[in-house]
A and B are shown apart, each in its own frame.
Chain A
Amino acid sequence: MGTKIYDCISRIAERIIENKDYLTDLDREIGDADHGVNMARGFQAVLEKVPRDSDDVGAVLKKTGMTLLSTVGGASGPLYGTAFMEAGKVAAGKEALTTGDVPAIMNAVIEGIQKRGKAVRGEKTMLDALIPALEAYTEQLEAGSDLSGAMDAACAAARDGVEFTKTIRATKGRASYLGDRSIGHQDPGATSATLIMEAVRDFLRG
């Protein structure tokens, strides 16, 4: 057998853990300085608890979500926990994912985060990276691009989304207490969402 879904999850976990201090520093500017610490703790637990040899993509994604729920500790726990669990529902029973599964999964992730966080695009959250990423991915696929090209476009759009969060005011979460003082800072959640997408892209590149 070739690669396992665990290998992809572990790439995500490593990327988050490597960026622990960076994410926490971003969160110190406009939040409670715990995003990196919380995310790293959650993904460390994911590395330990998610089965390495399973071919059941849906089950592994669900287990990742459940683990994040109970180990992250901040709002990103329910948000990313819900995101991975929703992704797991789309991938239920699958042993492999196709180019066409990606938008369905991203859509489920976005809807899960919107519902859990009661947020929409433009509120300086992870949605400001994820929604443009899905749009760019879909656009590229329709234009005849392959998986690699579509993922590159999605990651570039997510990065642009992170830049965009610098220009807007936070209306959700701890940063909303800062009002206009949140302008000028990039959103830690949009940043971690982008890091996750980039880790998946790099994993797919091999």
Chain B
Amino acid sequence: MVGIVIVSHSCKIAEGVCDLALQMASDYKKMIPAGGLEDGSLGTDPMRILDAVRSANDGDGVAIFVDLGSGIMSAETAIDLLDGEFPARIADAPLVEGAVVAVIEAATGASLEEVIQAAENARGEEKL
């Protein structure tokens, strides 16, 4: 099963996105938040993201969702540090909508490619 990591500068955002997305698939166990710094302050930490990515991996790879700015650079750094241990990719998708779609896909056994694709399709959804 594909794992999912939610990266945000804010611990509350990362945990909140996980809570919200898991409403769609409460049995899904491989969604891990990686928000803020270790001391709880705002920021992003590649090492914390790396740990989350490793915890989320079940053997089928991990889809990573990021908020903005250094969230992206920190996630890219984490992937570099992973050094090809298993596949991990950043979805170019909106954080909340992308995560919700991804959980549904991942929980039904979709591949990493399918999870990323579904989440990236969420980018075009109009709200009004």
Contacts and interface: CB of A to CB of B under 8 A. Distances in A.
B69 A75 contact: yes
A117 B73 CA distance: 7
B contact residues, range? 10 to 19
B76 interface: yes
Interface string A56-83: 0000000000100111111101110110
Contacts of B45: 69-71, 73, 77
The majority secondary structure among interface residues of chain A is helix
A70 B38 contact: yes
Interface in B39-78: 41-48, 69-70, 73-74, 76-77
A74 B71 CA distance: 8
Interface string B71-99: 00110110000000000000000000000
A28 interface: no
Given A38-B43, A72-B43, A78 B37 contact: no
Nearest to B36: A73
Contact of B47 (A66, A82, A173): A66
A117 B76 CA distance: 10
Nearest to B68: A174
Contacts of A78: 46, 70, 73-74, 76-77
Nearest to A32: B69
A6 to B, nearest CB: 21
Contacts of B46: 69-70, 77-78, 81
Contacts of A75: 69-70, 73
Interface string A170-203: 0001100000000000000000000000000000
Contacts of B41: 73
Contacts of B74: 77-78
Contact of B76 (A38, A71, A73, A116): A116
A173 B128 CA distance: 30
B79 to A, nearest CB: 11
A78 B70 CA distance: 8
Contacts of A71: 37, 45
Interface of A: 38, 66, 69-75, 77-79, 81-82, 116-117, 173-174
Interface of B: 37-38, 41-48, 69-70, 73-74, 76-77
19 contacts: A38-B43, A66-B47, A70-B46, A71-B45, A73-B37, A73-B41, A73-B42, A73-B44, A74-B44, A74-B70, A75-B69, A75-B70, A77-B43, A77-B46, A78-B46, A78-B73, A78-B77, A81-B46, A82-B77
Given A73-B45, A73-B70, A74-B70, 20 more contacts: A38-B43, A66-B47, A69-B45, A69-B47, A69-B77, A73-B37, A73-B42, A73-B44, A75-B69, A75-B70, A75-B73, A77-B44, A77-B46, A78-B46, A78-B73, A78-B77, A81-B46, A82-B77, A116-B73, A174-B69
